[in-house]
Structure 1
């Protein structure tokens, strides 16, 4: 692909200033996400499957953000976030949007990223009728994939993101087809529909201290968010923990089994792995499922490292 061809041909000519320029653009992106209201339509491609989504993102006068996402094709799905915290989802399809990372785009802290990635400016492009600058984000170890990120030259909002493996093969695409940053958002567009089910937001730090925690994580990964909601199948409360390194991320789902016979499982489709492990706890058997864009062996190690409350490894 063009991304890795440019890196191979021009890698020896890349100057330190290019890395500084890339960091500056990521800093602009951080500010844009906190200050810029917008609405638009984007497509999401993964493993040869496409979906289309509408997004409304409103920054209030106090700086708070309210964001609604609506799936426009296939199974209906909707979710609402307020100040970055999930408030409601409408279906298991919406849950999949969270698991797969369809939205929001991965939060990028340039200072944090340089610990695990190399940043480079590699050119310009045009996306959704808007001029963009193109950044390469290259992993420094085997735990992460590389990214090609296209940022709107006017606002620094992400117009397009490509997830690429070490051979430059496309694993995942997020791309706006329409983006409006000037029209005032209608209030009704920010209100969830009746099918959007409330979720219980957990304190990320307390979620690990009081209920579940991981005893091993890949370097650089920390707990970023947590929430709980009823399972649409069993009705049991499922705890959801999301871990990230500032770019890559994976999720851990914890569900009480209450005697239900479930076997361990592992699978991989494209860049996404899923590992489920049955674990005995003081409150009964629990299913631990790890889903994310990480090596299969890493996901299995994470699943086995999960502990309930004050439990310790044997």
Structure 2
């Protein structure tokens, strides 16, 4: 690959969930050892997410799980333990020739994917999330793309959100770990999912990823019982599953939300236990 995927690029992307289509502008730039990104919604209510000065050498849990090269020759195969990969020539997307990667889950607890990457740079040009029977649940695709060009003019937006990226020192990490160990735990997860988020003040939240999919679990103690039953909402590949439980005689509301099938979210919720 002659052009680094860490270089500057700008483009317009579409995100389709069922009958709903959103159009967004993406800008990625690099200065020294820092990258800055800007995502602007061009349809509906104008909104923008900005992430500035993100270290290029920062490796998140999902990135680490996808780095298979370091695992070759060892007993660990990373995400390949949970998905089957097939690589074939792809089509032309946003004027760029792509390589197609079909990602099939090896169990019923996660979705499949159809990924198309720029053959020259490795940038993801198109991504489809696949449900049962290869039903397309959600599709992301570049409509146009340019590398190394000047950043496009800013669009009119109503809301600007600054994405945070706290640097956690050893003392904070120890505090977060102790906090995560109490007062509740999840006793079942699909194989390959690892804890990726939960710091001080996050006692009611856990976030997990297997490198491709991610979901979060929220636990809220209630002052009184709620009617038995469960609530399910789905938008594209995102599932929101909610139900009331009693944990050690304490009524709680559990919500599992993320890119997993309903049955996976239900099983995760059923596995929650008080640790005290």
TM-score (norm 2): 0.72
* Counterpart in the other structure of 2:141: 175
Name which of 240, 243, 254 aligns with 2:208: 243
Distance 2:246 2:165 in 1: 25
Considering fraction of residues, name the structure with more helix. Answer: 1
Residues 101-250 of structure 1 mapped to structure 2, 5 A cutoff: 107=63, 108-110=66-68, 111-185=77-151, 195-196=160-161, 207=176, 209-211=178-180, 213-226=185-198, 240-250=205-215
Distance 2:254 2:165 in 1: 19
CA offset digits 1:94-140 (Å, max 9, x no partner): xxxxxxxxxxxx85434522111111112221111111111111111
Distance 1:185 1:197 in 2: 18
Most deviating of 216-225 and 163-172: 163-172
Distance 1:213 1:199 in 2: 26
- Between the two structures, name the one with larger relative contact order (CA 8 Å, sep ≥ 6): 2
Q: 1:48 to 1:241 in 2, by over 3 A?
A: farther
Find the residue that maps to 1:113 and give its secondary structure.
helix
Q: 1:109 to 1:67 in 2, by over 3 A?
A: same
Distance 2:44 2:198 in 1: 27
Distance 1:178 1:262 in 2: 50
Considering fraction of residues, name the structure with more strand. Answer: 2
**Offset at residue 292 of structure 1 (A):** 2.3
Distance 1:246 1:217 in 2: 14
**Offset at residue 155 of structure 1 (A):** 1.1
Find the residue that maps to 2:134 and give its secondary structure.
coil
* Counterpart in the other structure of 1:267: 232
Number of aligned residues: 248
CA offset digits 1:60-79 (Å, max 9, x no partner): 302x3222212111233332
For structure 2, the 5+ residue unaligned runs are 56-61, 69-76
**Offset at residue 43 of structure 1 (A):** 0.7
Cα RMSD for the two superposed structures: 3.8
- 1:41 and 2:41 are equivalent in the alignment: no
Q: 1:197 to 1:129 in 2, by over 3 A?
A: closer
Q: 1:228 to 1:48 in 2, by over 3 A?
A: farther
- 1:60 and 2:31 are equivalent in the alignment: yes
